[in-house]
Amino acid sequence: GAVVSQHPSWVICKSGTSVKIECRSLDFQATTMFWYRQFPKQSLMLMATSNEGSKATYEQGVEKDKFLINHASLTLSTLTVTSAHPEDSSFYICSARGGSSGNTIYFGEGSWLTVV
């Protein structure tokens, strides 16, 4: 079964609204989670590193005010796409470190966002 769960799997929203995507580690604590974005026929691009209890670290070119990341607990990180526009339509996916050694990477199932 999944050890990292994302919700929602699919979301359609109107342009200008905000959408929140949740990433949960189900049976382990994740101090660090990673958020990726994948456009059609392209690879996954790291957007930001989410650190529990502190500010996220954003990759170059990713607007921190547009993609709000909150990692308030050891099992939950959220990504909020604010004032979404059609060009934000993409596949968003999170990953987290876990496992007995803490070095196994688990992916969430991903969230498809369509902005109309």
Residues that bind other proteins (CB under 8 A): 31-32, 34, 36, 42-46, 49, 51, 91, 93, 95-97, 103, 105, 107-110, 112
User: Among residues 66 and 110, whose Cβ is nearest to other proteins?
Assistant: 110
Q: Which is nearer to other proteins, 88 or 98 (CB)?
A: 98
Q: CB-wise, 51 or 89, nearer to other proteins?
A: 51
Structure tokens at 85: 């526009």
Alpha carbon of residue 25 to chain centroid: 12
Residue with tokens 């050694």: 101
CB of 14 to other proteins, least distance (A): 23
6/84 Cα distance (integer angstroms): 19
Minimum CB separation of residue 67 from other proteins in Å reads 17
CB of 83 to other proteins, least distance (A): 26
CA distances from 42 to 14, 24, 36, 37, 45 (A): 24, 25, 12, 10, 9
